[in-house]
Structure 1
Amino acid sequence: MLSAGALRAHLLAARLAGPVATPRETSLRSYRLFAARDPRVLLGLEPEWAWRESDVLRLMAERCGVSNDPEHVSGSDVIDPNRTVAALDAFAGRLAAAAASRAPVLLGTGHPHRLLGFYASLAAALSAAGCPVLTPAHGRCVDITTRFGVRTFQLDYARGVALLRKPGAQGTPGETGAHTHSPLPVRTALDAAADARAALPALVIGDHGWVCGAGQLGIEAIGLGDTDDPAMFVGEAEGRVSVAIPIDDAVRSDYYGPLTRYVLNRACLSH
């Protein structure tokens, strides 16, 4: 079993925590946009509290370990690996609780290139424990506003994990899905389940709009957030996200393997 100390060392070596690739300028820009209620960074969350830019920076320093100095405006941002390990422990606790009650779960990602394997391993372990892994709205079209205009994608499932693909891209070699921060995919999935009077998830696991969008609708949600994803941590502070794990969400996909083993062991789901 991977110890907390060994995991911490891996987080630093792989730059999942410690100095990360996310530029400080990018993080600070996200905090400014969040304070201005820009929907691009709200990720489907509708904050209840008034969040000034300084409030967001203070929260991200507390939850992630970024510098709380507003004059620190360039260079790499930083994630405290101890905070990451603590959040992974809490994340494992929520997985264990879901498995114990055989709760229906929905997993989705806006980072399929990097995180699909991480979530797919969780889906397999939860399914083996008796949790229904839901796949509502499979094949539905979702219109996403991008910097290039409105683009239509299809909601697809790979190994139990929801993601977006370009229409007709399923089965295309090298096609792993689209990167998105939008809450529209989770809303589409939940609307389809409700319309069909099918099971709704008791827990949503993912990132970006999957977590914030589900949490905003009152469904328990847990997942990963980078230093430029303040909505995840605001949602946690306001009580609509159960666990937000501070971590670089765009490193090599195999670097997340030790995290998978750690949380499944902690949740007693590794066998």
Structure 2
Amino acid sequence: MSTDTETCNIEGICELSGGEVVISDWGNCKVKLLDQEYLVVGHCDVPMHPFDVCHIGGNEVAVCVNNLDERRELHFINISKGKLVTARKLSFTHSCYATAHHGNKLYISSYTALYVYTMTGKLVKKLYENKSGDYTVQRIAISNDGKTIYITNDSNHQLITLDNLGNKLTTLTNVKGLCTFCYYYYYTSPDLVRPYGVHATTAGHVFVCGFDSDTVLQVDKDRRTKLATLARAQDGVYGPYAFFFSRRTSSVIVGGLKDTLLGIKVR
């Protein structure tokens, strides 16, 4: 937007039922509405940096607004005729960094733990926790049937799969090593360095992006191995934070650093 004063770093992406795309612009503290041609047609300001965004239903989205101890909030925004209006918000005692919605439950990441809440903000339970690093529960995605939960563990370069009770099912790990001859770090899977965003389609496909490797990957159904690398830096991927699979266009929509929104056709 011409009024933006900072780079548009896209931290979250979701799609409305009508095909419009909603993104969270971390740098400018805005939530933006894009039409089907990905042009900005509406926006609203939020009081602090917005992170993840998810579609709740109809024309409502939920956006994580987080800034250390000052704000730990989830803002519910209604969208109508290009106008974005914050209808209500929930406040938490922990960080609110990523969110997913399934059924009548909200799933909230606090960087190191995954919590389940009701839609009114009542804590149901802490589903999972990992204190082995600072960003062990980075982003979350939920399967269409609600039985499987996917978590990116940035600190340990992992994609973790849980059941809906919080039990760990599988772990896809990118092992980091140090070359004893040249003293450079290497990875067993260089296409997945610092896994960040994760998305599960209604058809059961799972995608994950590597922030430092500038990649978007598809993993197999048991989440143990990589199936394919869909895009790399040379395709326009740069510091990917978030992405979304659009059934309408059969495209993976990727957002990240440098004012970049990339559409990748998936066959």
TM-score by length of 2: 0.26
Higher helix fraction: Structure 1 or Structure 2? Answer: 1
TM-score by length of 1: 0.26
Bigger RCO (CA 8 Å, 6+ sep)? 1
Higher strand fraction: Structure 1 or Structure 2? Answer: 2
